[in-house]
Amino acid sequence: MIIFPAIDIKGGRCVRLLQGRAEDETVYGNNPVETARIWEEQGAEFLHVVDLDGAFGGGSPNEEIIRNMAESVSIPIQLGGGIRSMDRIHRFLDEYGIRRVILGTAAVENTKLLEQAVKRYGNRIAAGIDARKGKAAIKGWVKETDLSAVELGLKMKEVGIDTIIYTDIAKDGMLEGPNLRETQEMIERTGLNIIASGGITSLPDLQQIRQIGAAGAIIGKALYTGAIELSGALRIGREAE
């Protein structure tokens, strides 16, 4: 199981939000590029980066930061947040060296774009499914859809997506533990590679996520507050079943 330290960028800074609310932010650093280097130095094998300005607004002032981040570390980066055009997908993957981009709102609202991206880039395209009470949400988690998270996952599978970043919005940033039941349902019913996100607070949380068959786990606030040390998380990720 791959452990992904999370770096959320808003206004050029490294922040964490509570349940995705833009007004409930905590700043953990003014230099996301340096934060990326720190996680790499501590042994991270993959980074999860979210452009929050892009997620909320669609456009973004953070592209140069993201480019510098990709150039400054040797480990791969997956990137999400407001990526809603082939131009931006091409720029991130082919020019900036991002390993994988995550389509969230675009995956729901623009099937043509999703199909085009998967056809061109294959498994370098992942889908982000963010759920509140089992229903998928888009537009930076602000707008709920009528689709259940599992239904959306199955639609993504039909298009050719093989990796989903699954976030329980109610758990995100709350340090209350992950939603294991719904994450397991997503894993079992879609058969896809599910990367779990939201609420991971402790090493036992990670052990449970690994036991239900997740392909990866994203850790944000717990790393920044010291509730989880990256070395311990990486050890669990590398344990054999």
Question: Active-site positions?
Answer: 8, 130
Strands in the chain per DSSP E: 2-10, 13-18, 21-29, 47-51, 77-80, 100-103, 125-132, 135-138, 143-148, 163-168, 193-197, 216-219
Which residue's entry shows tokens 């939603």? 179
Assign residue 82 a region: left if phi > 0, alpha if psi is -120 to 50, beta otherwise? left
Reference 62, options 14, 102, 4, 28; nearest CA is: 14
